[in-house]
Structure formats: C-alpha cells, structure tokens
C-alpha cells in the first residue's frame, strides 16, 4: 500500500533522528496515530482492531483516549501485561483507560463500547428485573378477566 504523507514525514524524521545518534522512544504507529486522530470521539471497536502489538497498542490507546502517549512510569507498569493474549490485553487497557479520571477530563465521546459494563445501570436493571420476577407469577395466576384490563393498562394488546 502506498504510504501516506504523514508516514513519509515520519520516515524522514526518523532517519534524521538516527543520523543524530538518537532513537525515538515511541513506535511509528504512535506518531501516525496523531495525524489520524479525531480530537473529539473514539470508536472502541475500531480502536480495538488496529494492527499493532501490545506495546504499540498501549500508545495508540493512550493517544486516542487520553490525547497523549503513554508516560514512562505507566509504560513500566503495563509492561508486565505484555505477554497476555492480544484481545485480553486490549480489553484490559481500554477498560482501565475508559474508566480513568483523566479520560473524563478529556471530553472524548466514546462510541461502540463493548468493553466496559456500567455498574450503575446494571444495578438498576437487576432491581427492576427482581421486581418483575416477583410480580409475574402473581399476574399469571390471575383470572383472564382481571388480566385483560391490567394488560390494557400496561399498554398490551
């Protein structure tokens, strides 16, 4: 595939960096991620599918969700998870970053979140379903004459 302009600029910068006897600490994918970044939203399904190894993915996830590359301290603490299977590592990173306070401050709109379940709603839901579980057997035992107006009241046919 033909390289885009940002990839070519990275290659030139990288070459100049190496000529000076230095190396970039972050992978190429982190550099290119900035050029393709939507500053306001992140689609977690797309993010979870980027072609990258676990170390590269970490940077990409940080940039997408927190608008910055991973810092050295955080990198060290993530390093111990690098041997995890890819999907497990990605799920973990996304879950942690999405739930972090820093992500809240970043005002990023999150789309297609199949990774983080929200406890609050789950709690509400389970309360509701518990109530229904208790009421339904009572309802079922009622005679049809009483059932019909209740159904109507509840909006049924």
| Residues of this chain that bind another protein (CB under 8 A) | 5-6, 8-10, 12-14, 16-17, 20-22, 24-26, 30-32, 34-40, 44-45, 49, 67-69, 87-88, 91, 98, 103-104, 107, 109-114, 116, 118, 120-122, 124-125, 128, 132, 135-136, 139, 150-151, 154-157
Q: Which is nearer to another protein, 78 or 97 (CB)?
A: 97
Burial class (CB in 10 A: 0-12, 13-18, 19+), 90: buried
Q: How far is the CB of 83 from another protein (least distance, A)?
A: 17
SS3 68: coil
Cα separation, 115 vs 95, whole angstroms: 6
Cα separation, 9 vs 5, whole angstroms: 6
Q: How far is the CB of 123 from another protein (least distance, A)?
A: 10
Q: How far is the CB of 125 from another protein (least distance, A)?
A: 6
Q: What residues form DSSP beta bridges with 109?
A: 41
Cα separation, 126 vs 122, whole angstroms: 6
Q: How far is the CB of 106 from another protein (least distance, A)?
A: 8
Q: Which is nearer to another protein, 78 or 94 (CB)?
A: 94
Q: Which is nearer to another protein, 40 or 80 (CB)?
A: 40
What six digits make up the tokens of 76?
């060290």
Q: Which is nearer to another protein, 16 or 76 (CB)?
A: 16
Burial class (CB in 10 A: 0-12, 13-18, 19+), 14: middle
Q: How far is the CB of 78 from another protein (least distance, A)?
A: 18
Count of alpha carbons within 13 Å of 32, Cβ hemisphere only? Answer: 18
Q: Which is nearer to another protein, 82 or 105 (CB)?
A: 105
């Amino acid at each position: 595939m033909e390289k885009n302009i940002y990839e070519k600029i990275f290659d030139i910068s990288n070459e100049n960096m190496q000529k000076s006897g230095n190396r970039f600490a972050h992978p190429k994918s982190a550099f290119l991620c900035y050029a393709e970044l939507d500053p306001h939203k992140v689609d977690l399904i797309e993010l979870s599918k980027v072609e990258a190894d676990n170390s590269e993915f970490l940077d990409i996830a940080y940039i997408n969700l927190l608008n910055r590359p991973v810092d050295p301290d955080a990198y060290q603490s993530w390093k111990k998870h690098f041997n995890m299977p890819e999907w497990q590592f990605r799920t973990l990173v996304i879950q942690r970053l999405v739930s972090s306070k820093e992500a809240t401050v970043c005002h990023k709109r999150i789309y297609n979140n199949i990774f983080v379940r929200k406890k609050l709603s789950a709690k509400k839901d389970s309360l509701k379903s518990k109530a229904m579980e208790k009421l339904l057997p009572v309802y079922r035992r009622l005679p049809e004459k009483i059932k019909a107006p209740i159904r109507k009241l509840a909006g049924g046919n």
